[in-house]
Structure 1
Amino acid sequence: MAKPIYILGTGLSHNGSAVLLKDGRVCVGIEKERLTRIKHDGGNDTLAIQYCLDAEGIELKDLSLVVQCANFEIPDRNYYKGKRIFADAKDLKIVDISHHLAHAYSAVGTSPFSECAVMVIDGCGSPLDQFLKLHPDRQQHIAPEFLNENQMLCEKDSFYHFDGQQLTPLAKDFSKMAEQSDNLFSLPTTQHSIGGFYASVSNYVFGDMDDVGKLMGLAPFGKSGTYDFEAFEFKSGNLFVNDGWKNQFDNPSQGYAYFKEHFDYYANVAKWAQEQVEKAVLQCIQNRLEKFPHQNLCYSGGVALNAVANAKLQDAQIAEDIYFEPAAADNGLALGCAFYGWLDYLKMPKVPHDGSTCFGKTYTDSEIDATFDKEENKKYDPKKITDEAELVRYCAEKLKEGKTIAWFQSGSEFGPRSLGRRSILAHPGIENMKDRINLDIKFREDFRPFAPAVLKDKVGNYFQSARYSPYMILVDKTRHEYIQALKNVTHRDGSARVQTVEKSWNPKFALLIEAFYEQTGIAVLLNTSLNKKGMPIVETPDEAIHLFGITDLDILVMENTILEK
């Protein structure tokens, strides 16, 4: 029997992660924040790599190749913000790739396409000099005006062709870095990036650039047409940010109380910014596809997490089929590194991906039981329901009654969305449920929406466009006749960030929704991540029990073990 080929991908940007491929398939992957419990944690990668090795039961000597990616530097193999796991593995081959290339390979590796175009749009990619050092053979693909520039330029957006084996850049846009200052809109990104623009407006509205998704959640409360100036312009096919928009805003948020007092103002700013991003994304991708047409498109980079813009892109029908990479932000860099190693470096054929984005380890019954032997957890009285059909019927009944359930099953999701492995679940239509979860469980702003998880074959019953959306990365409109029944998962403007659930890689979650449907006639559950504000999504049984204890959650279900308050 042939020895397996293991390739490790590691991302050392913020949102650090590690991913292990076995013979071209993902066998395990984890984001560093899930282990350190520090949101968006990056830097040294030893902890995430050790998690992957332990989960698979292998050692460094079993790896065929390591591929790594940082942002502004090429990491030393031995030390990077501390000693690395490779320091004593002198014979292990380590390859470096650039930022946007890693984003692009993360998309093609998990996509259903054997050939496609790939678009990457984010806040900031690799510096040009680093890109050329890593990929000297690709200088021919860089426009002369960038090569002749005498200041640091970084990747802004990149467009590739994937032939089934290798990515070839077709268009790469670079921008100088934004100047750092005390200005309200100072950016840690390139001067002309869509991602940087969105982060700067988020900072203006919330005083926080790390959770730009809040801006998308706020925008539906605003009014279109409040502002009539443009943030972006296109020149010769490239996107630029107009600095003039910054002069229009001079009232930054001064804390949550101030934000609430001026809620309508900030909602209008968010609405304007969201619509600017939607137009810019569509125009940018349209421009590339007009020059290099293809029926299949992969889309990645941090901007590709904007579910509203994604729906507009899909509705524009500029490609027959679009794959939105679920881990589109920097947490997906490790995934792209691993697939680069398999496809490009080793020249191995692409292995079809099963659609799952759940790459974490599964915790055994004995590991779950062991958490209750700890002194702090002996106050709980867990019970077990070993029959799966009985378990989902029981949980569906409790959800019907209005109970909230922390649902901890199998390996955790890789990426920013909980998809039924590490989720908080509730009834989508019970009065005030949304407010209760925001206030007493998530401890977050009351305007934040929740997602509907719906059986794949029932999505058209409840949502107008019936989008296939397994990764909660596209919005739809709730059908008028179901707005009341789905009030907790329908946003202010009638939109919903839908998750279509399928049995092939999410079997127990699908069974639970089916059981809820049998009892209520509704094939939809409220689904949100198993965490509270400021906390990474729960990874371990210990963390799940801790969260259960400090919030107003009613029930915790870990595999077949149940805790109730």
Structure 2
Amino acid sequence: MIVLGAKAGEHDACFALVKDGEPLFVYEQERFNRVKHGRSSDLSVLFEGLAEYGLSPGDVDLVATCGDHGLVPERLRQARAYLTGEALEKATRNVTWRHPTFHRLLAEAGFGEDRVVDVRHHVSHVASVFHASPFDDAAVLSLDCSGEADTAMLAHCTRREGIGILETVGLPHSLGRFYEAVTTWLGWGFGEEGKTMALAAYGDPERYAADLSGLLRVDGDGLFRFDEGLTDGTFSYSTPELVARVFEERFGPRRRRDDEIGQHHKDVAAAGQYVCERVMLALATTLRKRTGSDALLVTGGVALNSVANGLIRKEGLFPHIAVYPQVTDAGAALGAALHTYHQHVRPAERHHWEMSHPFLGRGIDLDRVGEAAAAAGIEGVRCDDPAAFAAERLAAGQIVGWIQGRSEIGPRALGNRSILGNPATPGIRTRINAEVKHRENWRPFAPSVLEEDLSTYFEATEPLPYMTVVAPLREEWRETLESVCHVDGTARVGTVAESFNPLFTRLIRAFKERTGMGMVLNTSFNDKGEPIVQTCEQALRLFVSSGMDVLVIGDRVFEDKRGARVGDLDPLRLNCRGLPDRPTLLVALPEAGHAQHTVDVLGRERILTTSALCAVGEGEAPRFAGEVLRADGEDALFEIAGKWPQAVFLVPWGADNFVFDREVYHSGTAEVSRRLIEAGTDDLYWVDPSGQVVRARDVLYVHQAPPPGVPAAYARYWQPAEG
């Protein structure tokens, strides 16, 4: 049986293909469109992945979404407990519109209603770890901001009985939302909760713990609720509301991103981390009592809190604790596929897969390394023993880029898309932070250590391969290994063994032969704010533009940067490569501040005339060297756009709002686009400030009957095979 798991649209979009119970690939959207957290309704990556494995869409038996819109009534029941009037009506419109969209995106891509099945969000999380584990019996704790109607799930899972749900926490009560609000008040954005966790080690949790414990109230079992005194019928407990109503009132104005971080901020971070740890430890204790299981699996976005995971491990509640790399919403795609497979295949015929490594992403495009190097103006040489070469350079104190094979899934680099350093080299952390990663120097790096040497350096003995659980460094090593040791004396360790990553293991062993140390500093191969690199071109671009000393891709070694050309690989430039090379009309909606950048990316020769930028609606026209046409109203825009073979609409919001926002879906711009499509024009695209490019035809009919046929971008994959 072939099952495709999909987290389509919104953040952390991902596609996972499972054949007979074992994953063939897990493709995270962000690696392909280069937009961090990969919010995109474009399904091209899904179809490309199938084609790579010689499969057509017709070969897929079922498509599983990690969201069940059948739970919308329960979500609305919860909303009625804390919202009234217009606030409740707004929430109702939002929920009833958004949640079915995940299902419809796939059905309208050609799979049809009969093949698309919905899996409860937190069940997807639970399945993603239990069906990847070696355990016949396990307790599972799943925590994130929210699914359809759950923010947390406690489950007891067995091979015989499957997933047994013990407890759930419903909206609006959310540990993930709480921690997101702390992070937002500290001046960071979505997905940057790791900064809060790191900063917490510098603070005093007791200073503000009472304030935050009052906001998120926890009972003896660890089950939590927001302060219901905030409920006035209009307060929805969203992150912006929590920041404005709670954090700014109690702790002062939200920090701006570039403001100095004071002790005040560190203490709030510490208090937020304390509350998170208290909840997770109490829930783990409850699971141990109620299940009697020897194994605990932690999943959901909150499971990236490696410090809390380390506390649970340290307390010794369970003989075994595992936190796999695919715990975020991207991993829920794999979970939905695995759950659906196990639900639809008879027990005697099921294959029980166990994750032994995380390398399920796309392989590096080695066939293009020469072309990419030539474009970057550098040359590489072949190396008979890349692992030994890299170890030699690391022993000399150099910073080494290391690209091999298939990419890791999840947010951690685990030896195939890594930037490496000698953890004992003085100043190495400062140098990598300043010259390569361009991030705050108070943030530590993680160590990759040979599994057999773990207990030499750390107070731990069991394998911890995924950098998802911290462990204390032994006192005698903390000064020597300050580059990978946080201020609290811990490190987000990743153990390495032959069965996990043979070549990376060989590299570390070669490094140990030269230095006596079975460990390297390991951080993800990306610049600040970027996803992990996906291609040789992207790796070479970061190499030549940073302080990296040497880059190893496969068996190619790059060192000499003289004459190198720093390429521009921003997401828009990359994603615009998929546009047909045709004359283009740029249509700028109000507040679309990326007009000039889009002009530069597309090139003036493609835009043809100086009057090619069309400003729509009220507000100041975009600043552009050429003449600007103004279209006031749908008819005027239709008249102008209809004269051009291709139009790119520059929107001030996310391009996916055309799917997920009811008002945008029925906006005047959307209606004009449908008129153009129905008049015979398919080449209409949305471009948003993040650099996403989405084909309008593929999203404008998700909520209504489309023109006949599969969306144009995917039609070629549905054509019958020749012969």
Matches of 2:152 and 2:107, distance apart in 1: 32
Could you list the per-position Cα deviations for residues 303-346 of structure 1 after superposition, in whole angstroms to 9, with x for gaps in the alignment? 11110100111222222222213211101111101101211123
The residue number in structure 2 matching 1:150 is none
Matches of 1:218 and 1:93, distance apart in 2: 46
Matches of 1:417 and 1:48, distance apart in 2: 21
1:476 alignment partner, SS class: strand
Aligned counterparts, 1:466-485, within 5 A: 466-485=461-480
Matches of 2:317 and 2:351, distance apart in 1: 26
Matches of 1:254 and 1:113, distance apart in 2: 45
Matches of 1:343 and 1:216, distance apart in 2: 36
Deviation, structure 1 residue 403 = 1.1
TM-score by length of 2: 0.67
Aligned counterparts, 1:517-556, within 5 A: 517-556=512-551
The residue number in structure 2 matching 1:433 is 428
| 1:97 partner amino acid | V
Deviation, structure 1 residue 207 = 3.6
Question: What is the aligned counterpart of 2:52 among 51, 55, 60?
Answer: 55
| 2:177 partner amino acid | G
Matches of 2:464 and 2:48, distance apart in 1: 29
**Structure with higher helix content:** 2
Task: Answer yes or no: is 1:513 the counterpart of 2:498.
Answer: no
* 8 A Cα contact 1:466 1:476, kept in partner: no
1:503 alignment partner, SS class: coil
Distance 1:86 1:56, change over 3 A: farther
5+ unaligned residues in a row in structure 1: which ranges?
A: 127-153, 177-189
Task: Answer yes or no: is 1:116 the counterpart of 2:116.
Answer: no
TM-score by length of 1: 0.85
Matches of 1:89 and 1:327, distance apart in 2: 26
* 8 A Cα contact 2:209 2:275, kept in partner: no
Aligned counterparts, 1:94-113, within 5 A: 94-113=116-135
The residue number in structure 2 matching 1:148 is none
* 8 A Cα contact 2:65 2:102, kept in partner: no
Aligned counterparts, 1:443-462, within 5 A: 443-462=438-457
* 8 A Cα contact 1:166 1:344, kept in partner: no
Q: How many residues align?
A: 508
Deviation, structure 1 residue 76 = 5.2
* 8 A Cα contact 2:61 2:115, kept in partner: yes
Matches of 1:251 and 1:216, distance apart in 2: 20
The residue number in structure 1 matching 2:362 is 361
2:364 alignment partner, SS class: coil
The residue number in structure 2 matching 1:204 is 185
Deviation, structure 1 residue 282 = 0.9
The residue number in structure 2 matching 1:217 is 198
Q: Which moved more, 1:239-248 or 1:411-420?
A: 239-248
Deviation, structure 1 residue 359 = 0.4
The residue number in structure 2 matching 1:241 is 226
Could you list the per-position Cα deviations for residues 165-193 of structure 1 after superposition, in whole angstroms to 9, with x for gaps in the alignment? 554443333433xxxxxxxxxxxxx3x21
Matches of 1:422 and 1:337, distance apart in 2: 26
Could you list the per-position Cα deviations for residues 501-521 of structure 1 after superposition, in whole angstroms to 9, with x for gaps in the alignment? 111131111110000000011
1:355 alignment partner, SS class: coil
1:552 alignment partner, SS class: coil
The residue number in structure 1 matching 2:115 is 93
Aligned counterparts, 1:63-102, within 5 A: 63-70=60-67, 73-75=98-100, 80=105, 87-90=109-112, 93-102=115-124
Question: What is the aligned counterpart of 2:4 among 5, 8, 14?
Answer: 8
Distance 1:108 1:407, change over 3 A: same
Q: Which moved more, 1:417-426 or 1:431-440?
A: 431-440
| 1:519 partner amino acid | R
Task: Answer yes or no: is 1:278 the counterpart of 2:262.
Answer: no
Distance 1:472 1:236, change over 3 A: closer
* 8 A Cα contact 1:18 1:45, kept in partner: no
Task: Answer yes or no: is 1:330 the counterpart of 2:329.
Answer: yes
**Identity percentage of aligned residues:** 30
Distance 1:173 1:366, change over 3 A: closer
Deviation, structure 1 residue 355 = 1.6
Distance 1:286 1:203, change over 3 A: same
* 8 A Cα contact 2:65 2:103, kept in partner: no
Could you list the per-position Cα deviations for residues 441-468 of structure 1 after superposition, in whole angstroms to 9, with x for gaps in the alignment? 1111111110010000100001122342
Deviation, structure 1 residue 58 = 1.7
* 8 A Cα contact 1:478 1:490, kept in partner: yes
1:543 alignment partner, SS class: helix
Task: Answer yes or no: is 1:22 the counterpart of 2:19.
Answer: yes
Say what the alpha-carbon RMSD is for the aligned residues. Answer: 2.2
Matches of 2:159 and 2:430, distance apart in 1: 47
Matches of 2:143 and 2:422, distance apart in 1: 36
1:505 alignment partner, SS class: coil
Matches of 1:209 and 1:329, distance apart in 2: 13
2:225 alignment partner, SS class: strand
Matches of 2:344 and 2:425, distance apart in 1: 53
| 1:161 partner amino acid | H
Question: What is the aligned counterpart of 1:37 among 24, 34, 38?
Answer: 34
* 8 A Cα contact 1:7 1:64, kept in partner: yes
Matches of 1:235 and 1:279, distance apart in 2: 11
1:14 alignment partner, SS class: coil
* 8 A Cα contact 2:20 2:351, kept in partner: no
| 2:301 partner amino acid | G
The residue number in structure 2 matching 1:319 is 318
2:359 alignment partner, SS class: coil
* 8 A Cα contact 2:297 2:323, kept in partner: yes
Distance 1:331 1:435, change over 3 A: same
Matches of 1:468 and 1:236, distance apart in 2: 31
Matches of 1:479 and 1:216, distance apart in 2: 21
Matches of 1:158 and 1:92, distance apart in 2: 28
The residue number in structure 1 matching 2:373 is 372
| 2:398 partner amino acid | K
Aligned counterparts, 1:104-503, within 5 A: 104-126=126-148, 154-164=149-159, 167-176=162-171, 190=172, 192-229=173-210, 230-231=213-214, 232-235=216-219, 237=221, 238-242=223-227, 246=247, 247-256=249-258, 258-260=259-261, 262=262, 264-347=263-346, 348-363=349-364, 365-373=366-374, 376-377=375-376, 379-385=377-383, 387=384, 390-503=385-498
Deviation, structure 1 residue 54 = 3.2
Matches of 1:74 and 1:240, distance apart in 2: 24
1:225 alignment partner, SS class: helix
Distance 1:60 1:457, change over 3 A: same
Matches of 2:340 and 2:157, distance apart in 1: 15
The residue number in structure 1 matching 2:697 is none
Matches of 2:352 and 2:195, distance apart in 1: 36
1:95 alignment partner, SS class: strand
| 2:51 partner amino acid | D
Could you list the per-position Cα deviations for residues 65-101 of structure 1 after superposition, in whole angstroms to 9, with x for gaps in the alignment? 2111248645458853xxx586334497221111101
The residue number in structure 2 matching 1:130 is none
2:367 alignment partner, SS class: helix
Matches of 2:109 and 2:253, distance apart in 1: 50
Distance 1:62 1:368, change over 3 A: farther
1:116 alignment partner, SS class: strand
